[in-house]
Structure 1
Amino acid sequence: MFGSTILDVLLAVVFTFLGVSLAASAVTEAIASMLRLRQSTLLDGISRLLNDPDFDGLARDVYDHALVDPLACVRTRQASLTNRPAFIHPRDFAVALTDVLRDRHPGGPGGADLAGCIATVPDDKLRGALQTLLRQADGDRLLFQAALATWFDGSMIRLSGWYRRRTQMISFLAAFAIAAMLNADVLHVTAEVWQRPAMVNLLNAGLSHDTITLQNALARLDASSLIGWDGWSGDPRDGWPGVLTMLSGWGIAAAASLFGAPFWFDTLQRLSWIRGAVPVAARADGLPYGSLALPHAKLSPGSE
């Protein structure tokens, strides 16, 4: 159903996407670690979950809990958090929030039941959510903590989507920069791989005894001309139309990297299986289609 040239083009394009995606993932992870994006996103998410945008209420007290941060000390400002956790287990969050609710009650720790502790929460929406979870647990503390853990876990799933949206722009910009550095122009790769079988046939047909031209043609067929800046000074993409096409090729590679390296790795595997199952047509001289029959002549002085 598919010709070998079509599959070769698809393999080359997917391989380009895979390489750019792997490099962009590494750069994005390095930037996220340097800027502590996971820690900041988790803190913002918990502040929103507990309706404490100023970080001076429940969110601050939860972060001060020993289960959340073993190095915790009493902090008054968000900026004073020097060891922000990048992950909080739902069970630890539930226990910490329960302890904080009891400690904040006017009667002191254990001074009232959970219903009385929740009733002191100043925020109406948060108080209503906690009261709903307590009713579903029939007032049982362990069941209430389990419900809190499930509630927190669901919020973290939404927070993960929020984090991905925050890092998508970083990933795209990193992929675009990598494509520019490597000159990974997908449109150029597609055109080159598509035209190579025809170029090989022309070489076999008319350049059998022209050694100098054959050397130039072999250099043109070199794989390094697909990706990279080799020979850029004589590239036919010079000029504004060519530059715009090149920028478009970089943009396509950067946009495709947002699917992630695992997606393109699986796609490359499937295409490789299909490519291995496609029979290769033979030419009249018995060689596989697309292969180059080199003349029996020396390509350069001293070569055998």
Structure 2
Amino acid sequence: MFGSTVLEVAIGLAFCYGTLALVVSTLQEALAAAFGLRAALLLDGVKRMLADPRFEALARSLYAHPLVNPQGSTGARDGRAPELRPSYIEPAHFALALVDTIREGENSVGASIAAVPDPQLRRTLQILYAQAGGELQRFQDGVAAWFDNAMQRLSGVYKRRQLLVSWLLALLLAILFNIDSIHLFRSLWQHPVLAAHITSVPAGLDGATLDQLWALPIGWTSFPPVLNADFALQVAGWLVTACTTLFGAPFWFDLLQRAINLRGTGAKPAPVLPQEARASAQSVQPLQPAEPA
């Protein structure tokens, strides 16, 4: 009984947290697409790399290059961001576009680098050009690697920001739907049959998944809540629920699958290869009947 109760509690909690994390990730991707967060962060990173914070010089010229932004215009001449901005730039295309942008007429690449106005950017390009030995292809590869390293650091900043957004969205949903982890744990521990209807990992946010979610002890029974000690415990349950989404939906659904397998028949044994089967059969000697005395 104890083991069955633990499994049912684990199944109910993992299903609730996994579904909530899936909802949060869906809302997060929708917000990122609606507000162009990736494109805005990429543009900000390019402006920092090229020392053009006002988007009036090299960064604006680079974004006008068809290899970087083939679908949009450069935007207004007053330094505003372009209307259509890419959310990803291939490092090799960035290198080609940058060399083509800074190169003026028939000037050599070295002379064009020397004419770059910003001293820090000019020094960076001169180091990459010297490391390449003056070879154009090696210089472009070095610029591409420089851009790729900068984008990796930028992706780390984006992930940290998205973690905060995920936590805030999860906290908002936990309050709106009263997903109290403490109350949920108590209810499932006292009534494990509440999670008995969960028999598989959901493939997405369909009607069956939401029906199983609403069958769990979540939601408001009375509103507004009374501001007492129980409400403080409820707030703590909301905070715990919001923190669980930071693990991500794959973590909770994998845990859910493991718990369901334990509740059922368990994992199937691995199939025996034909050669291993023949070796096992040869190693076992048949029993001979005893000869009569």
The TM-score range, normalised by the shorter chain, is: 0.7 to 0.9
**Offset at residue 242 of structure 1 (A):** 1.8
Deviations 1:154-175 (A, max 9, x none): 1111111111222233222211
User: Match of 1:102?
Assistant: 103
User: Take 1:72 and 1:94, find their aligned partners in 2: how far apart are those partners?
Assistant: 20
User: Match of 2:239?
Assistant: 251
User: Take 1:85 and 1:264, find their aligned partners in 2: how far apart are those partners?
Assistant: 33
SS of 1:3's partner is helix
Contact 2:9 2:192 in 1 (8 A): no
Matches within 5 A, 1:93-242: 93-103=94-104, 109-111=105-107, 113-196=108-191, 224=215, 226-229=217-220, 232-233=221-222, 239-242=227-230
SS of 1:79's partner is coil
**Offset at residue 133 of structure 1 (A):** 1.4
SS of 2:191's partner is helix
User: Match of 2:89?
Assistant: 88
**Offset at residue 225 of structure 1 (A):** 5.5
Deviations 1:268-291 (A, max 9, x none): 22333344467xxxxxxxxxxxxx
Residue segments in structure 1 that go unaligned for 5+ positions in a row: 104-108, 200-222, 279-304
Q: TM-score, normalised by structure 1?
A: 0.73
Aligned AA for 2:153? R
Residue segments in structure 2 that go unaligned for 5+ positions in a row: 195-213, 267-293
SS of 2:51's partner is coil
CA RMSD between the two structures: 2.6
Aligned AA for 1:224? A
Q: Alignment length, in residue pairs? A: 245
Aligned AA for 2:37? L
Deviations 1:24-80 (A, max 9, x none): 111111222222111110100111111221212211111111111223347433425
Deviations 1:110-132 (A, max 9, x none): 22x21111111222222222122
Contact 2:73 2:83 in 1 (8 A): no
Moved over 6 A (4+): none
Q: Does 1:260 align with 2:248?
A: yes
Contact 2:74 2:82 in 1 (8 A): no
Identity level (%)? 41
Are residues 73 and 173 of structure 1, via their aligned partners in 2, closer, same or farther at CA, if it must alter by over 3 Å?
closer
Contact 2:75 2:81 in 1 (8 A): no
Contact 1:172 1:258 in 2 (8 A): yes
**Offset at residue 13 of structure 1 (A):** 1.6
User: Match of 1:213?
Assistant: none
User: Take 1:63 and 1:91, find their aligned partners in 2: how far apart are those partners?
Assistant: 15
User: Take 2:145 and 2:117, find their aligned partners in 1: how far apart are those partners?
Assistant: 23
Are residues 166 and 56 of structure 1, via their aligned partners in 2, closer, same or farther at CA, if it must alter by over 3 Å?
same
